């Protein structure tokens, strides 16, 4: 199989599909997740082709923007990989990974079986992109898209939301840090991701500290 060609054609397919996607969740997010996945792959034993394909196609069709259809992305990926002549086993692995890797999917799940290394790398890469400077930018981009307030001291964060409450939340964007972004550091699997997450977490805390001081009119 022409592996490099397949990766290039996958990039073109995803880039075309994400044309006009909302700013926090677009082709550039996919590119960053792909690059971070490549970095994490350096430190781990995993099926690199499966990881790369799933990283590129993991946000093909976000259910938030498709009437909650959580299987659409997997179906699109399956059709594309079949057209490309990718083997059934690889295709099935990629489709399975796309379905299971999202944070929302993990909400409300009890302790399950140990995830595969491929899933660990993908979850780490996707979650890292919600942290740090880029994560802050994405959160406010998403909040703007949803017309949410930056901050409202009268609406306290609820870090224990269930899946349904999380999906339908209209809370200010600052709350999202306490409800999700500050929890991500402790969800990393690989040593490299843990190291990167610690740096990005510290930067978010520094940002929040300064934001809340400025909000109060303090120095």
Q: How many residues bind Ni ion (CB under 5 A)?
A: 2
Q: Does the footprint of Ni ion cover residue 179 (CB under 5 A)?
A: no
Q: Does the footprint of Ni ion cover residue 59 (CB under 5 A)?
A: yes
Q: Does the footprint of ligand ADP cover residue 62 (CB under 6 A)?
A: yes
- Tokens read off for 172: 């200010």
Instruction: Give the closest residue to 187 by CA, choosing from 109, 70, 94.
Output: 109
Is the alpha carbon torsion for 77, 90, 106, 25 positive or negative? negative
Q: Among Ni ion, ligand ADP, none, what does residue 91 contact (CB within 5–8 Å per kind)? A: none
Q: How many CB atoms lie within 10 A of CB 33?
A: 23
Vertex 98: Cα angle to 92 and 100 (nearest 5):
100
Question: How far is Cα of residue 64 from the mean position of the Cα atoms in its chain?
Answer: 13
Q: Which stretch binds ligand ADP (CB under 6 A): 9-17, 46-54, 113-121, 133-141?
A: 133-141
Q: Does the footprint of ligand ADP cover residue 103 (CB under 6 A)?
A: yes
Residues of this chain that interact with ligand ADP (CB under 6 A) are: 24-25, 59, 62, 102-103, 126, 130, 135, 138-139, 142-143, 169, 173, 176, 181
Residues at the contact surface with Ni ion, assessed by CB under 5 A: 59, 126
């Amino acid at each position: 199989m022409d592996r490099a060609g397949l990766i290039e054609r996958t990039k073109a397919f995803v880039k075309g599909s994400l044309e006009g996607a909302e700013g926090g969740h677009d082709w550039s997010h996919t590119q960053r997740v792909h690059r971070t996945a490549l970095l994490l792959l350096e430190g781990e034993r995993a099926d690199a082709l499966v990881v790369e394909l799933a990283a590129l196609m993991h946000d093909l069709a976000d259910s938030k923007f498709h009437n909650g259809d959580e299987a659409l992305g997997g179906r699109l990926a399956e059709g594309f990989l079949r057209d490309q002549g990718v083997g059934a086993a690889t295709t099935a692995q990629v489709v399975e990974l796309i379905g299971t890797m999202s944070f929302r999917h993990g909400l409300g799940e009890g302790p399950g079986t140990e995830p595969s290394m491929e899933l660990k790398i993908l979850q780490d890469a996707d979650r890292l992109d919600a942290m740090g400077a880029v994560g802050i930018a994405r959160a406010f981009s998403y909040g703007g898209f949803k017309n949410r307030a930056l901050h409202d001291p009268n609406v306290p964060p609820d870090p224990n939301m269930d899946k349904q409450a999380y999906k339908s939340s209209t809370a200010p964007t600052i709350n999202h840090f306490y409800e999700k972004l500050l929890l991500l550091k402790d969800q990393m699997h690989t040593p490299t991701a843990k190291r990167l997450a610690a740096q990005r977490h510290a930067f978010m805390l520094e940002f929040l500290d300064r934001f809340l001081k400025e909000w109060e009119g303090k120095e």
